[in-house]
Chain A
Amino acid sequence: MRIVVAMRQLADLVEELEVDDSGTDIDREFVKFVSNEWDEAALEEALLIKEQSGAEIVAVALDEPDVDQTLYTAIAKGADKAVKLTGLEEGWVSTHSRAKAIASWLGDQQWDLLLTGVQAADDLDGQLAGILAAQLQVPHAAVVVSAQTEGSSVKVSQELGGGTIVEETIALPAVLGIQTARQAPRYAPITRIRQAMQSGGLEEASVAGDLAEGRPTVRRLYPPEKTGHAEMLTGSASDVADKIIELLRAKGLVKS
């Protein structure tokens, strides 16, 4: 069983995001890039499958800012190999283009199951799992909260909203978009990440493509106009607590 985990970098949403001079992309120069949190769930699910029934895990990602850190961390957590796909320009890669790059690399690989995050905060033209699966003409499922391999198939649980779960069996090879792993992503000790970095071993493979392929033409990227804003309660914690209790009391939710 060979499991590929497709990971990616994304602007850290905790940071202030600014629009660049083109008005159609974020200013990437001073933004911190981090691993997409759903991809971390995908990696965790792959590691759980490996522990349960044995598998080789290959983490793969496009060459985006600080991707080495993400890939070495994947190795430190238990991935057997990590591959960096180079050759694309820097910038806002459309999901269709990302999928094509991964699909072209997969063409030379032997693989059974591909896991990736269910979504990413900038995937305007759709989510990777379905697009990649359709390009590869293999079955797929998204919003997956559990994946367990059984011979040449994978048993998945998909979340339908409101907590309803549907269970299915999917023939391999297949692509899954992971919403959450069966357990929270594990922590990789910094010493092990350093060890992985020191031993090197990130493979590189070259891909080609057009950044915006398949994406609707963005003509404006902008912060939303504030339609309403909370009235801010200020003062000490004690002052604010008093005001909140007063508001709840007015609603009859706190006994006077």
Chain B
Amino acid sequence: MASDVLVVAERSGGQFGDITFELLGKAKEIASALGGKAGVVLLGDTSGVDALGAADVVYTIDDPSLSNYNPEATEASLIGLLRQVEPRLLLMGTSTYGLDWGGALSVAWDAQLASYVVGLSLEGSDIIATSQLYGGKLFAEAVLDGERGIVTAIGGSFPAEAGRTGGSPEIVATSATASAGKVTFGAIKEPDKSGVDITSADLLVSVGRGIGSQDNLELVQELADALGSPLSASRPIIDQGWLPKPQQVGKSGQKVKPKAYLSFGISGAPEHLEGMRNADLIISCNTDENAPIFDVAHYGTTVDLFDLVPELAEKLGQ
């Protein structure tokens, strides 16, 4: 039975994301228990191998088709590699990579897929994945049946340190597999950083779906102004077009680590928590006492934001 565990490296601006090391640490744990190797796959950009000392083997696929993001070209090459290496497990983040490629790979490689994974372990030779479902309200513990599996894990679920140890992995250069050529890369657009920068603020006032309407935003904006802090928001507010994208906190927005994070009407979907859980002090206001935000907040209140925010603004204005 296959015993290797492969990790698809993720990069942003040339640097490996924490998720790569989190997955690599977990890959080492499982591969060594199975008596196999922990491998990392580098697609396109094959630089930076030195950072991957924790791996037993690094597979590089250096090909022009992979130099830019392209789901079709990437999947074709990953399937080629999977068929060649036949690992027990393939690990990815539940990021754009996992959301975009995971399902297609599970069909093409005929492997079960567990998504939104926050826990992964071995029981005998069974792979047990724990997934966070229903916006973090329920966990599902599931057995990946069959001899191969794919896991997409939520960032921050495993310690990154275990994947940052030194060593000298074997480097295996492999070639790309041609795709059908139906997806053509156009351009990469970096976010506009000229507006409000929420990543460098000491204090953030953040607002979510509980605010109800765009008109009500004025209320929290006044509080943010009184505190001299930028206003940030969770995804629903950005999707409605009520605040610009650079002000979004969360997986698909910005990761922030202010000295204090003051949230109003945010229930705390896993994607949001991923972006703010490391703030030094988190104070959250939500009328649902069971809102997941209270599991990461240091202080919480179920007082209605429409009562609390004006009180705060008034007291601070005095």
- Residue numbers of A with Cβ under 8 A of B are 11, 13-14, 16-17, 19, 24, 26, 41, 95-96, 118-119, 121-131, 133-135, 138-143, 155, 157-171, 174, 177, 179-180, 183-184, 214-224, 226-234, 236-238, 240-245, 247-248, 251-254
B137 touches A13 (CB 8 A): yes
Do residues A122 and B103 form an inter-chain contact, with CB atoms below 8 A? no
A32 and B219 CA atoms in complex are apart in Å by 32
A237-B311 contact given A124-B133, A170-B183, CB 8 Å threshold: yes
Q: Does A161 lie within 8 Å of B96, measured CB to CB? A: yes
**Would you give the shortest CB distance from A8 to chain B, in whole angstroms?**
14
**B300 on interface, CB distance cutoff 8 Å:** yes
- A90 CB, min distance to chain B CBs, angstroms: 18
Q: Is B68 an interface residue (CB 8 A)?
A: yes
User: B112 near A237 (CB under 8 angstroms)?
Assistant: no
B303-A237 in contact (CB<8A):
yes
Given the interface pairs A165-B188, A214-B106, A237-B304, the reply to whether A141 lies near B100 with Cβ below 8 Å is: yes
CB contacts (< 8 Å) of B132 on chain A: these are 224
Chain B residues with Cβ below 8 Å from A218 are 140-142
Q: In the bound complex, do residue B241 and residue A183 qualify as a contact, i.e. CB atoms below 8 Å apart?
A: yes
Does B190 count as interface, using CB distance less than 8 angstroms? yes
- Stretch of B36-44, B49-57, B169-177, B280-288 contacting A (4+ beta carbons < 8 Å): B280-288
A135: nearest chain-B partner, CB-CB: B107
Asked if residues B252 and A179 are in contact (CB atoms below 8 Å), the reply is yes
For chain B, what secondary structure do more than half of its interface residues adopt (helix, strand, loop), or is it mixed?
A: mixed
Q: Do B133 and A134 touch (CB < 8 A)? A: no
Q: How far apart are the CA atoms of A236 and B304 in the complex, in Å? A: 10
Q: Does B131 contact A (CB under 8 A)?
A: yes
Across the interface, name the chain A residue whose C-beta is closest to B106: A126
Instruction: Across the A-B interface, give the 9 residue pairs with the lowest CB-CB distance, nearest first.
Output: A163-B191, A130-B103, A230-B300, A134-B107, A126-B103, A167-B186, A216-B142, A131-B103, A237-B307
B69 to chain A: closest CB distance in Å? 4
Asked if A171 contacts B182 (CB within 8 A), the reply is yes
A24 CA / B280 CA spacing, docked (Å): 37
Interface residues of B toward A: which range? 35 or more
Q: Are B112 and A216 in contact (CB under 8 A)?
A: yes
Nearest-CB distance from A249 to chain B (Å)? Answer: 10
In the complex, the answer to whether A242 meets B315 with C-beta atoms within 8 Å is: yes
Residues facing A in B288-318 (CB within 8 A) are 288-290, 294-304, 307-308, 311-312, 315-316
Contact of A16 among B106, B135, B141, B290 (CB under 8 A): B290
Q: Which of A129, A159, A227, A251 contacts B259 (CB 8 A)?
A: A251
